[in-house]
Amino acid sequence: MPTNVHEIDYDLKGTEMQCVEIELDPGESAIAEAGSLMYMEDGIEMETIFGDGSERGPGGLLGKFVGAGKRLLTGESLFMTVFTNTSQGKKHVTFASPYPGKIIPLDLSQYDNQIICQKDTFLAGAKGISIGIAFQKRIGVGFFGGEGFIMQKIEGDGMAFCHAGGTIVKKELQPGEIVRVDTGCLVAMTSNVNYDIQFVKGIKTALFGGEGLFFATLQGPGTVWLQSLPFSRLASRVFAAAPQGQGKDKGEGSLGGFLFDTFMGNDD
């Protein structure tokens, strides 16, 4: 587990399209996914690195490739960006949500220094935390888990910020307590939560219920974070509503046409 995690202060701004402002003391650094920067003050230097910069595992070039390889397995970019305060005073850097939802601040030291989350969830955090992979042991989870057989594992004793869509529901599960959720609505959970996939009972419910063939069963004790609007659900509604074809059917000048151009591209 990383032990040299930088201590950072932060401020969440906004409601539905949130951003997180991180305050860095001189010499402190934060890491973030590529493309999540909103703005930064003068005196902060930006550097692109392989992996997460946590310096775990083998050292040197091999260690960097190991860290980058873990990110590649979870569907992330090989690179992350480090923002370091090189000035003599406090400076601020701000990261924005990629789509409507909430930013979840997680003090890893309060959750046994480890959180398991879906891929694409991590937004930013203190330099020194490790972003690795968490293989799901059950074959059912692997094939039908909605987000795949590999999830992200965030480790350390500092702050991490995760993003999720819509409204966030945090549930504290008691020992033996079970909650069943749509597989896409699971954002994160503590490592002691028992996670499995269950087939929807009843052929009519499975085929015509509109909720998919599988749902996740989460058994306590532990903490889970759920989202009301998975990005896959948002994207499917946008594509379903987008006009098809060209010319008038495409709806130039309308909101539908704008969304079509944005998500599908415009070859004109």
**Together in a domain, 204 and 250:** no
239 and 218, same structural domain?
no
Structural domain contains residue 4: no
pLDDT higher at 185 or 61: 185
User: Does residue 221 share a domain with residue 238?
Assistant: no
Within 10 angstroms of residue 7's Cβ, the number of other Cβ atoms is: 11
Residue 148: predicted pLDDT: 46
pTM: 0.75
pLDDT reported for residue 262:
58
Within-domain flag for 148: yes
Does 1 map to a domain? no
Domain that holds residue 241: 233-264
Q: Which of 144, 150, 149 shows the shortest CA–CA distance to 212?
A: 144
Tokens of 167: 């409204």
Helix (H, G, I), strand (E, B) or coil at 111: coil
Q: pLDDT, tens digit, for every residue of 56-100?
A: 544 545 555 555 555 555 555 567 899 999 999 999 999 998 888
pLDDT band at 161 (very low <50, low <70, confident <90, very high): very high
Q: What is the pLDDT of residue 34?
A: 80
Kindly tell me if the per-residue pLDDT of 143 is higher than 60: no
Flag whether 2 is in a domain: no
End-to-end CA distance of the chain: 52
Question: Residues 155, 252: one domain?
Answer: no
Say if residues 124 and 158 touch (Cβ distance below 8 Å): no
The verdict on residue 67 lying in a domain is yes
Tokens encoding 230: 């998975």
**pLDDT greater at residue 207 or residue 163:** 163
Chain segment 228-248, per-residue pLDDT in tens: 888 777 777 777 777 765 444
Strand order in the sheet with 79-85: 44-50, 79-85, 29-33, 122-126, 159-165, 101-107
> Could you report the per-residue pLDDT of 208-227, keeping only the tens digit for each?
444 456 678 899 999 999 99
212: CATH: 3.60.160.10
